[in-house]
Chains A and B, each alone.
Chain A
Amino acid sequence: MKKNYKKLIVFLGLFLLMIVTAACGNSDNNNAEDEKDGERKIEILSWWTAGGEADALNTVLDGFHDEYPDIIVENAAVAGGGGSNSQAVLSSRLQGGDPPAIFQAQGGKDLLRWLDAGYLQDMDGIFAENNWDEVFPSEIIDMNKQDEHVYGLPMNIHKNNVIWYDKKLFDELNLKAPETFDELIEVSEKLKDEGVTPIALGDKNPRWTTLWFDVLLLEELGADKYAQLWNGEIDFDSKEVVNAAEKLKTILGYINDNHSALDWQDAGDLIIDGEAAMQLMGDWESGYFETKGWEPNEDYGWVAAPGTQEYFNVVNDSMGFPEGVKDEESAKKLISYMGSKEAQEDFNKLKGSIPARTDVDTSDFSVYSQDAAEDFKNLKITISLAGGSATPAGFLSKVDDAINAFVTQQDVDNFINTLVDAQSLLSE
């Protein structure tokens, strides 16, 4: 009996010890491990986990490893949810005081919300050291700026005001790619008569209908007022916004019936299979078509969304630099490397985007990317709502919800009222 009693005490003691070591020992242990054998370990958190994106990130990390063999970069990418799963991990890691060395965010408001919560440090030093102010366009740097400090390294540029269409079908039916809203409707009517679904939409994730609303707003408002709208300086019950909603309602008359069952890739497949003719999508669509063996300018063509020929509506990923990174020195080296010409070229070529730096030689990029790089230099850059950069994430999620209801109800007044209610989130 006595023996049992002792055993119990020993067991309880061990148990307590386990709890105490688990609770307190964690951070110290890690540090010791990180630096063993002169190796340093840092982590990069992103949602670049699929196909080309994952390859792009790995190539950059390999390049960094060649340059700094003593720094091990762990790829802590989290898949799914269009980045929201990764952001959930990021938010609990930042709140728990265990930040990755650098992390992916959408440039602009999406990145800066982490600053508002007190989790970011600026990159002023790194920018000055590398003269980045001269090679990144000012619109893109300004997007990540607050109070004259810069908080994000732009990695890539996507354009999302692009309509992709089945070129062979358009040639066959002798149709011209639409440039205005009226032309879009005209073309859609003709396609409908031919028994083809004019516009492919996959809005299982309502964001892709939000994208339609986004470009229609850009068309209605023009670049300056469009930017003002996101700052809360223009009301959502103004004439232009109502017009954009009315136009969206018209568009919804030309889409495929099963839109709510599909993702954007599935909607792209409708075009490849000849069931639908056009799709509004960010230019990652060109990469998708190419993986399906479709050739640019032969099988598929592209044109700016109606009335937005003058604009380059930007979707951008930027890297953030958290406060409290254990090995700041190595993190800074990684940031400097990721902003270098070499890394930006490697990364974007594989990801199917164009470099945020304008001094990278894009002559061996894909046909579409070269065209986009030209546009990026020449067109007026606007910051996209659907790309996550224009507004706080909370506002965008309310817009997605409102859009989801609108697609079924098609009640413009109700939709506008919901937007007006959400407007207060913009001034915060």
Chain B
Amino acid sequence: MPTNQVRKKKSARKFLKGNNISFIVVLPSIFIISIFVYVFIGWTGYVSLSNWNSLAPDLSFVGLENFKQLFTSFRFQSDIRNMIFFSLLFIFGVVGLGLFLAVLLEQNIKGKWLFRNIFLFPMAMSFVVTGVAWRWILNPESGVNLFLQKFGFSPGWYTDTTIVPGWKVFDIEFGLPIGLIAVLIAAIWQMTGFSLAMYLAGLAGIPEEIKEAAYMDGANKFQAFFRVILPQLKPITFGVILLMLQVSLKIFDLVYTMTGSGPNFVTDMPAIYMYETTFKGNFYAEGASIAIIMLMMIMIFVIPYIMRQKEEH
């Protein structure tokens, strides 16, 4: 008997050694994630190839018909344009402004803690709140224009339907929709706090010696910043860009509450189209196709990132 017990104890110990224990612990999450994420992605992919475009599920296979419909529609072409310009300018704004403010706060100015909190605060709010507030602030008749009018300046904000430069591409005019700038202001206002926090942490992590060494070697402030500090912040910039990219590619709540689709779809986004076509129009397969396109666009950026991470390890 005692030998048996000892053996049991030994095998149990052996079993719990190494990778087995971690495998068992993550097993439930693997199980749940595989069902609620990957099986459903697969299901969405399947629906996107089907003819399910009314309330009654019709899963007969139609191939890429839904995608063809989407890419020839004026609204979806507008969505792609809006998303490209929104993502580019949003990320540029968040990274640039966040870095700028972080560097400012790093100079030992008075009331540093106060400014840090003020800049971080918008991040604590929901996009819905931001959307509703900025909708009124930038309303051309009642908001900030009442002030701007005194200087003879009254922009149409999100009601402006101009597209710059407006090259004719397929069915749409390609360029930056001016109406989108209003949404960009709100989005950048909200998310800059995030990049600011990241950069502050990054700046704090740069050893003083490196900076001192640069100054010793005769670098002025700008040279030290661009040649020494900025390269050190590269991983942070990369992380901020990636995280902001997934915010911008799937943005919904901010735009939906602030402007909706906008006149002539100048502020429409794929996620809004997906929601409306699925639940207002009952075009389930079309909605699923938009979801798949959005997923692919995010994957284009995320997969290289994951590969890189793997290489680094």
Contacts and interface: CB of A to CB of B under 8 A. Distances in A.
B24 A8 contact: yes
A114 B55 contact: yes
A226 to B, nearest CB: 22
Contacts, number: 105
Contacts of A407: 263-264
A204 B260 contact: yes
B5 to A, nearest CB: 9
A260 B56 contact: no
Nearest to A408: B264
A84 B282 contact: no
Interface in A245-298: 257-261
Given A116-B56, A258-B141, A405-B74, A397 B277 contact: yes
A150 to B, nearest CB: 19
Chain A CB within 10 Å, residue with most, of B8, B264, B280: B280
Contacts of B24: 8, 12
Nearest to A113: B55
Contact of B13 (A1, A259, A401, A418): A1
Contact of B56 (A1, A118, A259): A118
Most buried by B among A15, A117, A428: A117
A46 interface: no
A97 interface: no
A211 to B, nearest CB: 16
A397 B276 contact: yes
Interface in B1-33: 8-9, 12-13, 15-16, 24, 28
Given A15-B28, A258-B141, A394 B263 contact: no
A91 B55 contact: yes
A99 to B, nearest CB: 14
Contacts of A116: 54-56
A203 B278 CA distance: 21
B264 A257 contact: no
B63 interface: no
B271 to A, nearest CB: 14
A428 B54 contact: yes
B139 interface: yes
A393 to B, nearest CB: 6
B83 to A, nearest CB: 18
Nearest to B8: A2
A1 B54 contact: no
Given A1-B13, A1-B16, A261 B159 contact: yes
Interface of B: 8-9, 12-13, 15-16, 24, 28, 53-57, 74-75, 135, 139-141, 156-159, 161, 259-265, 276-283
In the A-B complex, the 4 residue pairs with the smallest Cβ-Cβ separation, listed nearest first, are A408-B264, A397-B281, A117-B55, A117-B56
30 contacts: A1-B9, A5-B12, A12-B24, A81-B279, A81-B280, A87-B280, A91-B55, A116-B54, A117-B57, A203-B263, A204-B259, A257-B140, A257-B156, A257-B159, A258-B140, A260-B158, A261-B135, A261-B140, A261-B141, A261-B158, A394-B53, A397-B281, A404-B264, A405-B75, A405-B264, A407-B263, A408-B161, A408-B264, A418-B74, A428-B54
